Amino acid sequence: MNSYVERVLEIAKKRDGNQPEFLQALNEVLCSIEPVINTSDKYEKNGILERLIEPERVIMFRVPWVNDKGEVVVNRGYRVQYNSLIGPYKGGLRFHPSVNLSVMKFLGFEQIFKNALTGLPIGGAKGGSDFDPKGKSDNEVMRFCQSFMTELYRHIGQDVDVPAGDIGVGGREIGYLFGQYKRIKDAYEGGVLTGKDICYGGSLTRKEATGYGLMFFLREMLSHHNQTVAGKTVTISGSGNVAIYACQKAVSMGAKVVAMCDSNGCIYDKDGIDLDCIKDIKEVRRGRIKEYLECHPQAEYIEQRAGDSAPIWKIKTDIALPCATQNELTLEDAKVLVQNGVIAVAEGANMPTTLDATEYLQQHNILFAPAKAANAGGVATSAIEMSQNSMRYYYTFEEVESKLERIMINIFNACKAASDSIGQNGNYVAGANIAAFNKLANAMIAQGIV
Ligand code: NDP
């Protein structure tokens, strides 16, 4: 291993040894950019890696609120303002019990690279809370969001830091957060949050963007290897924002999606998933995926047992799209997928594939689309939402979709060019990391030691 990379990884391990997700993300990125680091000592002389891995600022705060029973509940809030090299901090908010500093830092670190790949002027950040919106009433969610924003507002702004949604933060939560921000600031700063509803400054196609973008990237990758999406069988983990719109675009490209899941279990419908039914369960009723059986009793429901690997990856498929959460596709799952003849895996979620599973898939010549490139369509469209807010203007659905498609094609081409440049044709993990790193390192050198 390059001695500079090794030294920086050692520093991180010593400092943050108790942050496994963060160290996992660092390992993947730093190891794959080694061929670039080997070409010049300018990276070490300018302390590029030491500076890149350290967030500019980490904010942690108390979020007290009162539940419907009148009890006081205290959650923990976070905002990791990782890097503002190329634009205001930008990245989603996640509300999920698994949120901790390690998860926030891995997501923030990945976000810097992803945002650089979009070609748009946005820095990297992530935030959230260990609050679980599942099972809470609308009023509880509102009170929580208002309390969360009562602290967060002083750290964000449309030219400073622009949060968006992520797991557990959809249109409802963004609405409550925006309302409280506007009330405190007594000003209409529309560009302070993205993922807003279209009726108060949101962008058409933002809701669909991550899933659609994933499919555009996948289509480019397959086409470069003389394959098409049409006619393929697809399995998609999750049934949230990313999964639903990946499914919609996959079907419109001629694929058949046969399975989706939530954290309780997986639905297998060999005739093809009825997406309207999934949308009704998840977007309207906020129910569980098992309810799919009520309208499609012929489908199969496989329960997710605690400690067992995810049932969805045992289903035979041509294309697997992990769109739920980090480390959901393990080495064991990768082996089953390969055995069952998978040809491509494209990551809709952030870091859903473990490092050893990624390596296994690549060693078996499975086309692999890494998250920071393949799911960048969401944040890219958030940046398009910000620019519409600045212009006080709305693009049509078609205009935003065509900009998104162009961005995803550019991202694929950048990843391909970077992987070719190190003689690793088809290694889009290295390609994505290197393409983003080159841009960030140049900006860091240009801006001096800050
Ligand atoms: P949502 O909250 O809308 O959906 C998450 C989905 O994943 C739910 O169906 C959830 O099920 C499921 N899930 C969560 N944990 C598990 C688990 N352990 N096993 C199986 N299923 C699980 O989130 P999003 O769709 O917005 O985000 C999904 C992923 O995509 C995240 O990694 C996020 O960071 C990433 N992402 C999202 C973007 C966006 O624009 N929304 C942009 C870029 C990346 P349940 O309801 O049971 O919890």
Question: Where are the chain's structural domains?
Answer: 1-54+426-450, 55-189, 207-369
The protein residue whose alpha carbon is closest to atom 33 in ligand 1 is 349
- Judge if the beta carbon of residue 168 lies within 6 A of ligand 1: yes
Task: Report in angstroms the alpha-carbon separations of 62 from 12, 70, 94, 142, 351.
Answer: 27, 18, 16, 16, 28
Round the CA-based radius of gyration of the chain to a whole number and report it: 21
The amino acid at residue 223 is S
CA 165 to centroid of ligand 1, rounded, Å: 11
Per the CATH hierarchy, to which homologous superfamily does domain 207-369 belong? Answer: NAD(P)-binding Rossmann-like Domain (3.40.50.720)
The answer, yes or no, to whether any atom of ligand 1 lies below 6 A from the CB of 166, is yes
* Cα(261)–Cα(413) distance, integer angstroms: 31
Is residue 77 within 8 Å of 147, Cβ to Cβ?
Answer: no
Ligand 1 neighbourhood includes 267 CB (under 6 angstroms): no
Q: In what order do the strands lie in the sheet with 265-268?
A: 300-303, 265-268, 256-262, 233-237, 319-322, 344-346, 367-369
Nearest CA to ligand 1 atom 43: 375
Mutate to test the pocket of ligand 1, among 304, 325, 353 (most ligand atoms within 8 A of CB): 325
Q: Cα(402) to centroid of ligand 1, in Å?
A: 25
Report yes or no: 106 and 20 within 8 Å, Cβ to Cβ: no
So what's the pLDDT on residue 309? 86
- For residue 170, what pLDDT is reported? 96
Q: How far is the CA of 231 from the centre of ligand 1 (A)?
A: 26
Pocket of ligand 1 contains residue 102 by CB under 6 Å: no
How remote is the C-alpha of 448 from its chain's centroid? 30
Ligand 1 nearest atom to the CA of residue 244, by list position: 25
Give the chain as a 3 state SS string: CCHHHHHHHHHHHHHHCCCHHHHHHHHHHHHHCHHHHCCCCHHHHCCHHHHHHCCCEEEEEEEEEECCCCCEEEEEEEEEEEECCCCCEEEEEEECCCCCHHHHHHHHHHHHHHHHHCCCCCCEEEEEECCCCCCCCHHHHHHHHHHHHHHHHHHCECCCEEEECECCECHHHHHHHHHHHHHHHCCCCHHHCCCCCHHHCCCCCHHHHHHHHHHHHHHHHHHHCCCCCCCCEEEEECCCHHHHHHHHHHHHCCCEEEEEEECCEEEECCCCCCHHHHHHHHHHCCCCHHHHHHHCCCCEEEECCCCCCCHHHHCCCCEEEECCCCCCECHHHHHHHHHCCCCEEECCCCCCECHHHHHHHHHCCCEEECHHHHCCHHHHHHHHHHHHHHHCCCCCHHHHHHHHHHHHHHHHHHHHHHHHHCCCCCCHHHHHHHHHHHHHHHHHHHHCCC
Per-residue tokens: 153: 């507002």
Ligand 1: atom nearest CA of 107 is 34
Name, in order, each residue with C-beta under 8 angstroms of 235's C-beta and a sequence gap of 6 or more.
257, 258, 259, 260, 312, 313, 315, 317, 319, 320, 321
> Ligand 1: does its nearest atom lie under 6 Å from the Cβ of 240?
yes
Cα–Cα distance for residue pair 412/368, rounded to 1 Å: 12
230 near 253, Cβ under 8 Å?
A: yes
* Atom 31, ligand 1: residue with shortest CA distance: 349
* Beta carbon of 210 within 6 Å of any ligand 1 atom: yes
- Asked if the domains 1-54+426-450 and 55-189 are classified in one and the same CATH topology, the answer is no
Say what the pLDDT of residue 109 is: 98
Please state, as a whole number, how many other Cβ atoms lie within 10 Å of the Cβ of residue 97: 12
> Mean pLDDT by 10-residue block, N- to C-terminus, for the chain (450 residues)?
97 98 98 97 98 98 98 98 98 98 98 98 98 97 98 98 97 98 97 97 98 98 98 98 98 98 97 98 96 97 92 98 97 98 98 97 98 98 98 97 98 98 96 98 97
pTM equals 0.97
The catalytic site residues sit at 126
Say how far apart CA 38 and CA 406 lie, in whole Å.
Answer: 32
Q: What pLDDT is attached to residue 307?
A: 84
Task: Specify whether the CB–CB gap between 259 and 238 falls below 8 A.
Answer: no
Question: Which of 167, 244, 282, 385 has most ligand 1 atoms within 8 Å of its beta carbon, as the pocket-test mutant?
Answer: 167
Residue ID of nearest Cα to ligand 1 atom 4: 240
Q: In this structure, which topology does domain 1-54+426-450 adopt according to CATH? A: Glutamate Dehydrogenase; Chain A, domain 3 (1.10.285)
Backbone angles phi, psi at 194, to 5 degrees: -120, 165
| CA 237 / ligand 1 centre spacing (Å) | 9
CATH of 55-189, picked from 1.10.565.10, 3.40.1160.10, 3.40.50.10860, 1.10.1060.10, is 3.40.50.10860
